[in-house]
Structure 1
Amino acid sequence: MKEEEEIEGIKLAKQQQKAEVKRKATPVVGDMHPLMDALPELSDLVSASKFPKHCKISRVKKRVPTNFNQMKSAQKSKVIVEEVAQFHKTISDPFFKANPLAVISEHLSKRLMQERAGEPL
């Protein structure tokens, strides 16, 4: 057993070394999605520059990160409270109590159709 774990450890180390060499050879810094999420939209910048400085401009709300790890603690707790409320609502639903698998299956099929159509969730 120990020998297999050691072999796996060696393989993992070699894979990490190869990945590091590949990352160093890549001219791009890395994943650009966090940077794109942090920057404002070009249309917001263009529309804001059309108005004089003394006019009040309604600010566009910041995008809430969809990645739970990128959220602030207040955002995380809000999401958790909403999810818990939705969970309690779901388990108390009479249709769910009668046939939980059918309700989950229906929900998943609707969600897949929304994703395929490109609709926001």
Structure 2
Amino acid sequence: MKSRLERPCALSSRPSVPRPPALSSHGSTCCLFWTFPMDRVIQEWAFVNTDVFARTKIDPSALVQKLDLDTRSVTSVRRGTEAKAVLPKKEKLKLRRERWLQKIEALKLAEQERRAQQRRKATVVVGDLQPLRDALPELLELEAGGRRQRTRGAGSRPRPAELSRMSAAQRLQLLEEERTRFQELLASPAYRASPLLAIGQQLAQQMQLDSGAQL
């Protein structure tokens, strides 16, 4: 037991590691030299003293910016000259409601026109005669003078050939007669059998009668 206790411990044989000196307020510079190698301290100090922009060449004119009137945008010009009108909340709601009503009315008109066109296309025999019906009154107005010569009496006043020279009463009477003649044509059996052929024959007969009356 005595020999075992007198044997030196293994930890006691380790070499002693030197510790750095304690930091103090008076020896901070000295501590830096003790903790860092001398060549690294010299390199760091040389890098701090060097000028990073020593070899950089900058033109002084590039640092001056001038905003001319020609280079200004439309937004920047209008921002300083025009003041945006501030509307009350009620006025904004009123304008928004009017815009919505206009959009709804336009959609309704477009839907009505689409349905009317579909109804015209659904007719198998007649087909789409709406463009022809729109152009027919114009042809009748151009030849109104010749047709009036057959219907007027011996003592009646002759009507002018041009529609622009007619009076208001003469134009109303002419439109009423043409409307009656057009309704009779639509109700005729020839029109039901072949609408285009019946309209063509009616126009050809009318033109022959007008040319004979003018001669």
Q: Quickly name the TM-score band, shorter chain normalised.
A: 0.3 to 0.5
Structure showing greater relative contact order (alpha-carbon pairs closer than 8 Å, 6 or more residues apart): 2
Bigger Cα Rg: 2
TM-score (structure 2 length as normaliser): 0.25
